Structure 1
Amino acid sequence: MFNTYEKIFTVKESETAEAVGSGSVPVLSTPHMIAYMENTAMDLISEELNETDTSVGVLINVNHLAPTAVNKVVSVEAKQTDKSGKEYTYEIKAYVDEKLIGKATHKRMIVDKEEFMKK
């Protein structure tokens, strides 16, 4: 059975499209929504790691569906949908007040920290 994990974020002014230069309006930027999603999946996969491992994002396919104002609370849910060796796949959804604002498919790989940093 695959695991699910939920994490809560509050949109900061520094995370708006206007602030990061990805748009001209003061709403949650797509890059920050993606960061929320990756962070949630990273926390979920951490249950699978030993002390010498970490995980890295290798793919994300995202749809940003609705704007989100500063100070709004975003609930992100990551559900593991597949595991193939050290590659894990997640379906991730982001909500504000139960309204879907974003969805993604995300892949993470488990890697040895030391070997990864040598590259």
Structure 2
Amino acid sequence: MDLIGRILIAALFVTGAVQKALAPQMVEGLLGGVSLPGWLIWPALGLNLLLAAGLLWPPTVRAAALVAAGYCAVTSLFHFLPQDGWQMSIFVKNWAIVGGLLVLAASRRA
């Protein structure tokens, strides 16, 4: 079960990287909305792929889960748009993912 769960969570980060690669304008728009440069999409794409790999490789699961939880917490702020129900659902989903990642990290031995 642990491996299946890690594969499913890793898939979120892989699809996030693919989405950034295929449609960077959306993320660049979110970055621009908070006065950050659009080029940050590329390090974020790389981080998404590293996190996915880290969640799959047993020795790095705990560290990857902790970093991924922080990443999801920070990126959730881009979606905190109370007037937009769709963005708020993404905001809440990010925090649910943070919770799952923290449980995963806690279940691994340090």
Question: TM-score scaled to structure 2, two decimals?
Answer: 0.31
- Compare relative contact order (CA 8 Å, sep 6+) and give the higher one, 1 or 2: 1
Question: TM-score scaled to structure 1, two decimals?
Answer: 0.30
Report the structure, 1 or 2, having the larger strand content: 1
Report the structure, 1 or 2, having the larger helix content: 2
